[in-house]
Amino acid sequence: MIEDELLKWKFKSGSKDALRRIYEKYRNYLLTLAMALVNDAGLAEDIVHDVFVTFAQSSGTFKLRGSLKSYLSTCTLNRCRDQIRARKRQPLSLDEDIPMQSDFDPPDKRMISEEQSRQVAGAMAQLPYEQREVIALHLNAAMKLRQIAGLQNVSVSTIKGRYRYGLQKLRSALNGRL
Amino acid sequence: MRPADNINDLIKKLQLRASADLDARVHGDISEALAGHEKPQSVRSEPNIWRTIMKNPITKLAAAAVILIAVAISVTILDKSVTPAYAIEQTIEANRGLWFIHLKIEPSTKGHVDEMWVQFDDNRQLTHLRMNFPDKEVVWYEGRAEVWFKAKKHIAVLREKDMLARLRMSYESFDPKRIVEELYQTQGSENVQIVIQEPSVEGEPITITMTKKGSPNVRAVFEVDPETKLLQQEERYKLEDGEYKFLGRTRYLDYNNPADSEIFVLKPPADLIRRDQTTQDIGLAQGALSDEETAAKLVRQFVEAAIAQDYTKASKLIANVPAGWVEEQPYQGEQVVRLISLGKPELNAKTGSLSVPCQVEVEKDGQTSVQSIVFRVQQVQGRSGPWKIIDF
């Protein structure tokens, strides 16, 4: 996208406005991705915060030829993986409350069931991390399976398997509740 | 087809919004991070190529001719008065300078805010907020909130961070900056169609129609001031029986123009009861209990007090109400006689409140029935204070 190329160029020159604009443009998207992976709103916010602070610190040496969105997604993904490894968490129960909000508020006219979102997010948290990552990257971050295979360092067929089995588990978990 | 068969769509629909706290943290820290990388101005001046060229009289003349031609071309271009087409980015840019917003929500609905005024500092941190509801007015500033319950003729004075979090959540649903940025980000989404219509008559607004297909099928129509590029209005519709049904409207009445310098000061009648929660002993102390255990105990105590008709005690367990408030409520002759069950308290991570479902047996005119009630409870004044019921 032309805007992203311009923002990259301005950011490299040290423009605070460009960095703010990049943050405002991608913060919700990265937050949703982080949340899908770590299932902890506070941790997801910390991760997004850290991604942008590290990004800001790189302005003097920043060199990126590819997509800004993909770059930030990868940074977020790496931090999520670090957190998962560090915490060695057990899968959360379906009762964990997830502050997912309708993307078409206001609250007096709820369009999308918060309860449904909560249960979907809770079911995602039950999946093995590798399956959850594939589903979140493919559906929330719109990455191609081939890209995800590169990130997970496995074959495309392995990724397809993780995606298929992950969705099957989600369907089974949710059909009793929705 | 069962609902979860459409699992891909359900996952794609999960959307999280950055909180104002996260925004403030990131903006503050990235400014610091960038400041550490500012490139210092070079003290040694670079060779001035322009000065070298202009020493030659021939190049001086050539340079002057180029400048004259450039001026002539730009005058010709400007003369054609080409107005650039509207783009949503223009409103995003215009929103950057906002520090005061006044908005109105229609139709007015019981229990929901219908008019708001907000003020920010230079870092876009909320400093003042006022919300008018049909039955109460709320003002928040400098870490304290005042709630004027008009029907009960009583003002509660609160001093807790959680109140700000809830007020901020309510505001963010109508924040024009957030709304326009989200609109911008949905451009290009496969389920979303955005149509921008420039006005045909001078003075009319620019119209942006966003239609989101899928479940639910909704539409929003935005009006933008063609001069300021600021949002004037948002109307919301939902597709029902083949037609888009009007749901509501938000009108943005003033930007950066607080007409009343005391808009953030409540002006109730002088004879109101003032209940200052910062000094009064209310709610239930947590002690060694967990949050869930405390929440369940609080609700049990309230219901038992209602059964015993000890309305003074029951009122003390509820936030922001005077003694005897429970007794004054128009329960239409119904009396709680038995607590049947208490469900497991569930945490709302965003607000810190817990929802406690319960079933009670109610008697009216000699007949009994079972009613389900969900109590919402929360700690007063941060994480060290007692717990109270904030809603049911």
Number of Cβ within 10 Å of residue B126's Cβ equals 18
Put simply, the answer to whether B185 touches A32 (Cβ < 8 Å) is: no
Put simply, the answer to whether B348 touches A52 (Cβ < 8 Å) is: no
Whether pLDDT at A9 is above 50: yes
The pLDDT of residue B339 is 92
Q: What percent of chain B has pLDDT over 70?
A: 73
Whether pLDDT at B41 is above 50: no
Which chain B residues touch A103 with a CB distance below 8 Å?
Answer: 13, 15, 17, 182
- A106 pLDDT band, cuts 50/70/90, is very low
Which chain B residues touch A94 with a CB distance below 8 Å?
Answer: none
Put simply, the answer to whether A116 touches B10 (Cβ < 8 Å) is: yes
Greater model confidence, B161 or A153: A153
Q: Which amino acid, one-letter code, is at B20?
A: A
Whether pLDDT at B304 is above 80: yes
Put simply, the answer to whether A42 touches B349 (Cβ < 8 Å) is: yes
The pLDDT of residue A93 is 31
Q: Which of A4, A101, A164, A170 to mutate to test the interface with B (most CBs of B within 10 A)?
A: A101
Token digits of residue B231? 């949002």
- Facing residue for A14 by CB, picked from B13, B38, B185: B38
CB contact at 8 A, B180 and B231: yes
Put simply, the answer to whether B22 touches A42 (Cβ < 8 Å) is: no
Average pLDDT over residues B6-18: 75
- Compute the count of residue pairs across chains A and B with CB atoms less than 8 Å apart: 164
Whether pLDDT at A104 is above 60: no
Whether pLDDT at B128 is above 80: yes
For chain A, the three-class secondary structure string (H helix, E strand, C coil) is CHHHHHHHHHHHCCCHHHHHHHHHHHHHHHHHHHHHHHCCHHHHHHHHHHHHHHHHHCCCCCCCCCCHHHHHHHHHHHHHHHHHHHHCCCCCCCCCCCCCCCCCCCHHHCCCCHHHHHHHHHHHHHCCHHHHHHHHHHHHCCCCHHHHHHHHCCCHHHHHHHHHHHHHHHHHHHHCCC
Put simply, the answer to whether A111 touches B216 (Cβ < 8 Å) is: yes
The pLDDT of residue B9 is 75
- B31 pLDDT band, cuts 50/70/90, is confident
| pLDDT tens per residue, range B364-381 | 888 888 988 888 888 765
- B208 pLDDT band, cuts 50/70/90, is very high
- A23 pLDDT band, cuts 50/70/90, is very high
- Facing residue for B112 by CB, picked from A59, A108, A136: A108
The pLDDT of residue A111 is 35
Q: Give the residue from chain A lying closest to B33, CA to CA.
A: A57
Average pLDDT over residues B236-259: 90
- B226 pLDDT band, cuts 50/70/90, is very high
The pLDDT of residue B270 is 78
C-alpha distance from B253 to closest chain A C-alpha (Å): 18
Put simply, the answer to whether B185 touches A124 (Cβ < 8 Å) is: no
- B198 pLDDT band, cuts 50/70/90, is very high
- Facing residue for A14 by CB, picked from B37, B220, B348: B37
The pLDDT of residue B388 is 83
Put simply, the answer to whether A24 touches B27 (Cβ < 8 Å) is: no
Which chain B residues touch A16 with a CB distance below 8 Å?
Answer: 30-31, 34
- B324 pLDDT band, cuts 50/70/90, is low
Q: Which amino acid, one-letter code, is at A65?
A: R
- B49 pLDDT band, cuts 50/70/90, is very low
Sign of torsion over alpha carbons B92, B93, B96, B101: negative
Greater model confidence, A55 or B331: A55
Can you tell me the distance from the alpha carbon of B99 to that of B119, in angstroms, rounded to the nearest whole number?
A: 6
Greater model confidence, A95 or B353: B353
- Facing residue for B11 by CB, picked from A20, A106, A139: A139
Put simply, the answer to whether B11 touches A102 (Cβ < 8 Å) is: no
Top-ranked range on mean pLDDT: pick from B6-20, B46-60, B342-356? B342-356
Can you tell me the distance from the alpha carbon of B110 to that of B161, in angstroms, rounded to the nearest whole number?
A: 25
| pLDDT tens per residue, range A48-98 | 999 999 888 887 777 776 788 888 998 999 898 888 777 644 333 332 222
The pLDDT of residue A91 is 37
Put simply, the answer to whether A49 touches B22 (Cβ < 8 Å) is: yes
E runs forming strands in B61-205 = 100-106, 115-120, 126-132, 136-141, 144-149, 154-158, 192-197
User: In what helix (H) or strand (E) does residue B14 lie, and over which residues does it extend?
Assistant: none
| pLDDT tens per residue, range B56-86 | 555 555 655 555 555 555 555 444 455 568 9
- Facing residue for B248 by CB, picked from A109, A140, A170: A109
Average pLDDT over residues B257-281: 76
Long-range CB contacts (< 8 A, 24+ apart) of B172-178? B172/B17, B172/B20, B173/A105, B173/A106, B173/A107, B174/A106, B174/B103, B174/B105, B174/B116, B174/B250, B175/B101, B176/B95, B176/B98, B176/B101, B176/B103, B176/B230, B176/B231, B176/B252, B177/B92, B177/B95, B177/B98, B178/B17
| pLDDT tens per residue, range A123-163 | 888 888 889 999 998 988 888 898 889 888 889 989 999 99
Sign of torsion over alpha carbons B268, B271, B275, B276: positive
Token digits of residue B381? 């004044």
Q: What is the mean pLDDT of chain A?
A: 76
For the ranges A29-38, B113-122, B167-176, B295-304, the lowest mean pLDDT is seen at: B167-176
Q: What is the mean pLDDT of chain B?
A: 78
For the ranges B16-25, B62-71, B160-169, the lowest mean pLDDT is seen at: B62-71
- Facing residue for B15 by CB, picked from A97, A103, A139: A103
Put simply, the answer to whether B17 touches A29 (Cβ < 8 Å) is: no
Put simply, the answer to whether B5 touches A121 (Cβ < 8 Å) is: no
Token digits of residue B382? 């941060």
Average pLDDT over residues B264-292: 77
The pLDDT of residue A178 is 43
Put simply, the answer to whether A100 touches B15 (Cβ < 8 Å) is: yes
- Facing residue for B18 by CB, picked from A28, A112, A117: A28
Whether pLDDT at B249 is above 50: yes
Whether pLDDT at B383 is above 60: no
- B48 pLDDT band, cuts 50/70/90, is very low
Whether pLDDT at B280 is above 80: no
Q: Which of B1, B2, B6, B7 to mutate to test the interface with A (most CBs of A within 10 A)?
A: B7
Put simply, the answer to whether B30 touches A97 (Cβ < 8 Å) is: no
Q: Give the residue from chain A lying closest to B237, CA to CA.
A: A109
The pLDDT of residue B230 is 95
